[in-house]
Structures are given as C-alpha cells and as structure tokens.
Structure 1
Amino acid sequence: MTVKFNQLFFLSLLFFISCSPPVVYSSKATPPSRTNSLPIQKNAHWLNKWKALAKGKPTVFRIVQLGDSHTAGDFFTNTIRHRLQKRFGNAGIGWVYPAKVNGQRQAKMSYRNDHWQTFTSRRQERRDFPLGGIIAANDGAGKVTLASRNSTNNRQKITLMFKAMVVGSPLTIVDGSGYKNTIEPDDRLNRGQWQYQTITAQLPFSYHCAEDDRWQLGYLNIENQRPGVTVSAFGINGAQLKEVLKWRRSWPQDLSRTQADLVILSYGTNEAFDDRLDADKTRRLWRDTIRRIKRALPQAGILIVGAPESLVNQDGDCGVRPPALDTIQAIQRDIANAEGILYWSWEKAMGGRCSMKKQIRLDLARRDGVHFSAAGYETAANQLADYLIALSGATNRHNPSKSQQVKGYFSPRLP
C-alpha cells in the first residue's frame, strides 16, 4: 500500500504554520543509554565543522534531507531550517524544485509555470532522473518564474542542474533587476548529459527557451554567499528508499555536488504499509545506499530518521499499526548501528508506541493516521533541531509554546 499525501492538506496548511528533544541513537552497536543518546565519533569532520560554526567561524553548513511526503511538504524541514538559521546564520534557501510540483510544497519559494511540466521518478520510471527524482521539461517556448516568499534584495549564487536535449540557442535567465544570464551546454560533454552551471542573479528570476528547443532541469541551489546553514528538502510523495533505484546510476555524483555536510534519510512510512516488504532486500538496500552516500561524501555525517508511528485504522485503544512498521523501524535502527551513523526515532519523539491517536486528539496529526498537521510537524522538527544544536555545543535558546509542552512530547533534558 502506498501512502499518498492529499493535495488539499497542503492547501489548507498554507494558512497556518505553528517543539522538544527526542531519542537519538548514533554510533556502532552501543545500547541506548537512559539519556536517550549514544556517543558519536568525536573527531568526525562534519561535527568539527558544525561546532566551529557554532563558535563563530564563517562557514556554510549544508544539510540535505531525502524522503517521502513528510519531506515533500517542507513543514518538517522548514522548521529545522528556521531554527538552525536563526541560531547559526542564514546561508540561503538551498536546493529547490526547478518548477512547481503538484501536491508538493516548497516553503521558501513560489512558482509560476508556463509550458513547462514537472515529472517525478515515482510516476515516470523511464526518464533519466538525477538526485531527488524531479525534473522540469519544456513544451514549447514557455518560461518558469521562481520567487522567494521572503524578501531577498541581494544577488544570489544559483547553481542549475540541467540537460540540453535538442537545443539551438541558450537557456535564458532574467532576474528581478532585469539582468540576463545564459546557460549553454558544454560541447565537450555528450548531448543529453546532466550538467551544472552557476550564476549570480537576484530573485525573482525566470528562465525560458526557444520554442523548438528541449531542455530538462533538475533541482537548483540558491545561496546568498553568507555564512550559516542551508537545509534542502528532496522529497517525493509516496516514496520509499528504493526510489533511488529509479534515479540515474551516478546520482551520488549529484549528491556530491550539493557539498552536504549532513545527509538525512527520512523514509519508512510507505515501507510500513507494504505488506509484501522483503526485509532482507530492504536491509541490503539501506546498507548499500548509505555506503554509496559515504563514498560520495566521505566527510559528511548521515542521520536516519526512524519512521514515525502510523495507523491503518483507529480501532482499539491504540489503533492498528501498518503490517511492516516494526520491521522497517528495526531495519533503520540496525543499519544505523552497523554503519556507525546517527539515528533519531520520530516515534519516540511522538511519545512512543500508541501515540498516534493522542497526536490526532491534540490536532498534531491528521485523521488519516499517517500525516501530521503543521503544528505536529513543527513539534517533531523542533525536537530534532534541539538535538542538532546540542551536538554543536551551542546554547539552546528555544522555548516551546504552552500548547506544545504536553507530557510525552516535551522534555527539558537534552542528550
């Protein structure tokens, strides 16, 4: 069973966006301590960089999250983005969709598509998808306009991931000040090969091409050339981790181009509803994917977000859990321990087993027993942000609202 994120959910949540430290596991095969944390590798490059930023070193720390609808809604990731940028500095928007994706949301960007379509790897398996599994392709001489939801007057450093299929003229980019940039394929590379080009431009900006040309764009990155944090959400509704098998074989090269310092894997909900889930195959896929990430970004940290509790229905005191939820959660924990990476239990952040019905009663989760309200995503994300801030050694300045200081959801203790 594949869980679909109701498009109406996003529309309804656009009108309101509304916090507490969870259980975190990391490092190799060490049993959980009573403080809900395990020791991490103290000399890890990414962690040293994280601590240096907290002490004021002018650097950019980039976080990339790959996931399902919990990521595609960008409520969870936007809360982390807001908390970390407020604490350590705002280095920019990060990687975003190249154009509007139906049923999905980008918290920091708005789009206007004209004769450009978006495709996802979940729906179109035969396309050559780069990292993230989303591309925009033109159909005629249309254009796409991207605008920031927040005012940004300074020029941005923008990196485009593109593929020139049939082109006779450049892709033209016009920014908010009227300045023009052109994107031209590298003739030294094969036509139809994914390429990257970086420009500077002011938001908003539009890109357009000639009517007979055929271009494809993947995610694009927007940074403001200041120190701080970026948090990028690469999510697809209904995705499982096996979505990576539909991307081009060299997607780890795309990941390397992000220069991510911390990669977060947030899958598991759709695996939980798969009553034919092959545990051994799934375990191998998680192990192999994490090892590919390590090879692509040998100095980066990796964190697995354990699948939150979800329900098939609300029968009984606790509701009925999906058939493979326990299995995927165990796989995620075991792989994190075996590979020496971080693990954060979303279910324990919710309050443990039998917590989804309570979340629904508190309006922190939707009645489908799968997705959360804006407040619910923010409550969970604030807990993860608390943990990441604690790892940096910085003082945590976050104070949750009274409505979020609910037993089982907030604890003042940090690992």
Structure 2
Amino acid sequence: MVKPSRSLLLLGYILIILANVTFFLPPEIKLTETISFRSFTPGSIFEKQEVKYADISDITQKFNQPDPLELPEKAAPAKKKKKTKAAVVKQQAPVKPDTTEVLETRYHIQFPEKADTVLDGFFQALRSSLPSKELIRVLHYGDSQIEGDRITSFLRRRLQEQYGGCGIGLIPAVDGSGTRLTLLQRADRAWSRTLAFGPDYNKTLPGSYGVLGTYYTYTPIRHLSQIKPTSGQSSYSREETTTNGKFDFSTAEPVSLELMPSDMAKGRSRQVKNLKLLYRNPGAPFQLSVTMAGDTVNKNIDSSGSLRIYKYRLKKDFETIRLSFKSKKSPELYALALDCNTGIAVDNIPFRGSSGTEFIRMNKNLLKQQLKELNVKFIILQFGVNIVPYLTSNFSFYEEQLYNQLELLKSVAPEVSILVVGVSDMSRKEGEDYVSYPNIEPIRDAQRRAAFKAGCAFWDLYEAMGGKNSMPSWVFAEPPLANKDFTHFTPKGARLVSEMLYKALMMAYEEKNRI
C-alpha cells in the first residue's frame, strides 16, 4: 500500500521538474518553416500579454458610403423607357470628382521613385473618354477577396457616377460561384470551363485562355430524328449529320446560356445597352441565336481562328437574355460583356485560390488582342491572401514571380496603366487573441518592390485598413466589416475598401490635373 505522503512527494517532484522545464524552454520552437511548437512560460501563465487591436474609427467616419442596394433607385422603372434614356444621358455628363479632402499619407497611391507618371495613361483616358464617345475598360483581377463582385461593384458605381457608363462589364459564360448579387445566370450542363489557375488547372490542355483566365466550350448534341431510339437508348447522339457535305444545323439540339438581372440589380447595373461575346471558333462554324423579350436574332458565324467579338444591341430594357449555340464543334467562348456604348466599364475577375502568378500561362498574342479590342486602359491586381499561410523568412521568390506577371502584362499592353493592391491584413488565433500573421508585411513589401521594379503603381491596403492587428477590428466592428475567417471582407467592409481606393485614385488624378 502506497502511503499518501509518498504520493504527495512524487507530485511535488513532478511540479518542480515542470517548473524548471517551462522556465528554461523557449516560448516557441520552430520545427519547419510552417510548423512550430509553442510552450507555456511563466509569463504566459501569470502575466497576461494584452494584444492591442488597431483603431479604425477614422476609417468608418471618412469612407462610410451608403449601400446602393438600400437607396431609392435612380434609374427609371423598366417600362418607362423615355425617362430611363434621359436619366442615362444626364448621368453620363462629366462632373468634377468629389474628392476635395486631403487624405493621410497611408491612403495614398504610391509610385516608383521619379516615376509618378505610371498612371497617366489611365488618367488621360478618364479626361477624354466622354468627349471622344468611347468606352474605356478597367480590369480588376484578384483572389477570393473580390469574388462575387465585392469591392469591384462599389468601385464601378463610383467611377460610373463620375465618368458615365453602365452594366456590370465582363462576366464568365458560366458562373461557377453563383455569388454575384446583381446578375443571375443559368447554363446547360453541356458547358465546361478550362482554367489557367486553381487546382483544376491542366497544363496539357490548350492555353488559349481568355482575358478572364478561362475559356468555355460545350459538348455538341445531335438529334437524329430519323432514327427511332430503342428501349434504353437516348434520341440524342454524337454522330454527325450532314446535308450536301455540310453540317445540318437543323439536326442539332441547342446548347444555351441565360442572363437575367436579379431583384437586387438597380440603377446602372440594369442600364445595359449591348451584349458582347468574345470568342474564337477555329474548329467549325456555329449558329447563334439571341433572344430577349420575344425578339430573336439568328446569325450563322463562319469558322475563324482569330479573336472575334459579336455585339448584340439591346432594343429594350435589360430582361432575360437567352443565347443558344448549334455547331459540329464548340467555339471557344472567352467572356460575355454587359456594357454601355460610352463611359467606363469596370470588370470583376476573381482567380479563386490564386496568388496572381498565373498570367504567364496565357497565350500572349491572344491576350494582347483582347486587351486592345476591349480598349483596356487600367488593370488592378489584388492578390496575396493565398500566400500568407505559407510562413517563410524570405519572399524574394514571390517578388520575382509577381514581377514576371507584371512584365508580361506590360509587354502585351505597354500603354495600359497597372496598379498593384497590396495584401490585406489577416489574423490567426494565439491564445485568446487574434493577431496578424507575421509575414503580412514581408509579403506586402515584396509586392511593392515588384510593382515599382515593373513600373507600376502600388496601393497599400494593409496600412490603409489600419496596419498590424487591424483585421480583428474589422471583424468585431458593429456591423461587422469582415468575416469570422479573419480574411475576407463583408459587403460593408468591401464598400469601405472600394471607397478608400476610389478616393486614393481620385486624389492622384486631381494632383495630375493641377499640374
């Protein structure tokens, strides 16, 4: 039988050993670049280390904008066509940007040393877009931080209020995420997409990606009405049907897409003037039918290996548009666009899971053609959150990769201005607190160096949103400005970010106008 005194003595020895271990053991032992072992220390047990979250009250005061979905609709009701036209014409008149206040340095657009002219091409396009009666285009690339038209939609609204334009710009043929608020899309199951990014990327497939980093194709279906299907056999077949050696479109079943404004689509997002299709069909001709409000346009399109843009002019207010395709082989469909004829278009192009290093996978000549035909004047690149979880002491590899992407874009479109938006703050939980990842600032610095080296502008979102430990302040704000993953902004937070970016751009623009 063990005496109680011996048990107490053994427990005392154990406590002494543990006290010595915790005293001499470092608070963190790094096992690999991404894995570490944390231990208790006397300080962590008895001394509470208070983490101070960033104060963002000035941000919400300076940049808070009302939600356009909660405002009375500026556009006329769909049936009042004359009033809608008049409103659009009036809204497209150029007005002076309302950014008269001087912003703090942390909100400013940053430029390479002795090269503050890198955005002049875009600023000149803004000055001349309306008088020249042209449509200029802004491409906003990013990771999941902008998915669903977050950040982009509010920036689009602000720019179109100042410089005219309407619609939501470029969209994929098939909406894979289904998160866009202002547009609903439906597509037949025959469609498939090929991506230049993400886990589905396949380097063995043709690299003829569109400006959205994707291309869409469908599996043609032939209907052999002259053959009666037997039990268990479908009346649809992949056998070819020809008439006089040519493909008989009448025997093909259509493969369709549908676009329709959602109930949340208001104002300029509904004021669509034309629908564009960017495509290439080297394999075979195809028949296209476009239907809206009972009006159908049919067009037979010859085979061509070059980039083409088909434009459908809307004769009525934007309602459900159905596009039907018939062909022996599918064309490559790069993008659709819902635009105005003049003003500015701002396109939301999310690369989910990307770190912004996949542009070199695209065909340079095809990308060059698309940027030229779309009259792109400004490209915004907003990446970084997907590289944050990879903890390392040196991000020179990422700097070089990002620089290569920027150099590619500059080589195919030297006249296009480029802005790199730095990584936003991200937090991880340590004990009871949420703290910024230790590599946020090194990633931000690598992005800035790459931008300046390539002759591009840079906007520091990390500093603009409050710097170190600012993400918890956004998450715990009322109402919340970021989600509880401590990575992505809520719609209200996205609206703040877009307003900060818009005012930073307009401040830089006004500085140029004063010179």
TM-score, length-normalised on structure 1? Answer: 0.77
Gaps of 5+ in 1: 1-13, 31-38, 395-415
Q: SS where residue 303 of structure 1 aligns?
A: strand
Contact 2:383 2:421 in 1 (8 A): yes
Structure 2 CA distance for aligned equivalents of residues 337 and 393 of structure 1:
22
Q: SS where residue 427 of structure 2 aligns?
A: coil
Instruction: Label 1:29 to 1:237 Cα distance change in 2 as closer, same or farther (>3 A).
Output: same
Q: What residue in structure 2 maps to residue 47 of structure 1?
A: 123
Instruction: Label 1:380 to 1:155 Cα distance change in 2 as closer, same or farther (>3 A).
Output: closer
Pick the aligned partner of 2:476 from 341, 348, 361: 361
Structure 2 CA distance for aligned equivalents of residues 71 and 282 of structure 1:
21
Pick the aligned partner of 2:212 from 100, 116, 132: 132
Shift of 1:17: 7.8
2:187 counterpart of 1:113: yes
Structure 2 CA distance for aligned equivalents of residues 168 and 60 of structure 1:
29
| Higher gyration radius (CA) | 2
Contact 2:112 2:457 in 1 (8 A): no
2:455 counterpart of 1:340: yes
2:234 counterpart of 1:234: no
Matched letter for residue 152 of structure 2: T
Q: What residue in structure 2 maps to residue 382 of structure 1?
A: 499
Mapping of 1:272-291 within 5 angstroms? 272-275=388-391, 279-291=395-407
Q: Deviations over 1:138-195 (max 9, x none)?
A: 23443111123447887733332224365464233333451314262444x3xxxx62
* Stretch of structure 1 that moved more, 276-285 or 117-126: 276-285
Instruction: Label 1:176 to 1:367 Cα distance change in 2 as closer, same or farther (>3 A).
Output: same
Structure 1 CA distance for aligned equivalents of residues 331 and 439 of structure 2:
40
Pick the aligned partner of 1:302 from 418, 435, 453: 418
Contact 1:61 1:230 in 2 (8 A): yes
Shift of 1:234: 1.2
Instruction: Label 1:86 to 1:360 Cα distance change in 2 as closer, same or farther (>3 A).
Output: same
* Stretch of structure 1 that moved more, 59-68 or 21-30: 21-30
Contact 2:365 2:412 in 1 (8 A): no
Shift of 1:93: 2.6
Pick the aligned partner of 1:146 from 253, 259, 263: 259
Structure 2 CA distance for aligned equivalents of residues 272 and 287 of structure 1:
18
Matched letter for residue 137 of structure 2: R
Contact 1:259 1:297 in 2 (8 A): no
Structure 2 CA distance for aligned equivalents of residues 76 and 155 of structure 1:
21
2:313 counterpart of 1:195: no
Q: SS where residue 274 of structure 1 aligns?
A: coil
Pick the aligned partner of 1:67 from 118, 134, 142: 142
Cα RMSD between the aligned structures?
3.4
Q: SS where residue 348 of structure 1 aligns?
A: helix
Contact 1:265 1:303 in 2 (8 A): yes
Contact 1:16 1:374 in 2 (8 A): no
Matched letter for residue 371 of structure 1: H
For this pair of structures, how many residues does the alignment match? 365
Instruction: Label 1:136 to 1:17 Cα distance change in 2 as closer, same or farther (>3 A).
Output: farther
Structure 2 CA distance for aligned equivalents of residues 230 and 390 of structure 1:
20
Gaps of 5+ in 2: 1-66, 72-98, 222-253
TM-score, length-normalised on structure 2? Answer: 0.63
Q: SS where residue 358 of structure 2 aligns?
A: helix
Matched letter for residue 126 of structure 2: W
Q: Deviations over 1:67-97 (max 9, x none)?
A: 1112222110001011111222124432111
Shift of 1:209: 2.2
Q: Deviations over 1:236-264 (max 9, x none)?
A: 21111122244334453233333211110
Q: What residue in structure 2 maps to residue 372 of structure 1?
A: 489
Matched letter for residue 157 of structure 2: H
Sequence identity percentage: 17
Instruction: Label 1:154 to 1:319 Cα distance change in 2 as closer, same or farther (>3 A).
Output: closer
Structure 1 CA distance for aligned equivalents of residues 398 and 214 of structure 2:
23
Structure 1 CA distance for aligned equivalents of residues 212 and 413 of structure 2:
16
Q: SS where residue 269 of structure 1 aligns?
A: coil
Contact 2:118 2:417 in 1 (8 A): no
Pick the aligned partner of 1:28 from 80, 92, 112: 112
Matched letter for residue 133 of structure 1: G
Q: What residue in structure 1 maps to residue 334 of structure 2?
A: 218
Matched letter for residue 100 of structure 1: D
Instruction: Label 1:229 to 1:317 Cα distance change in 2 as closer, same or farther (>3 A).
Output: same
Instruction: Label 1:17 to 1:348 Cα distance change in 2 as closer, same or farther (>3 A).
Output: farther
Q: SS where residue 108 of structure 2 aligns?
A: strand
Higher relative contact order (CA 8 A, sep 6+): 1
Structure 2 CA distance for aligned equivalents of residues 153 and 229 of structure 1:
15
Shift of 1:287: 1.8
Shift of 1:285: 2.3
Matched letter for residue 493 of structure 2: G
2:378 counterpart of 1:262: yes
Instruction: Label 1:377 to 1:229 Cα distance change in 2 as closer, same or farther (>3 A).
Output: same
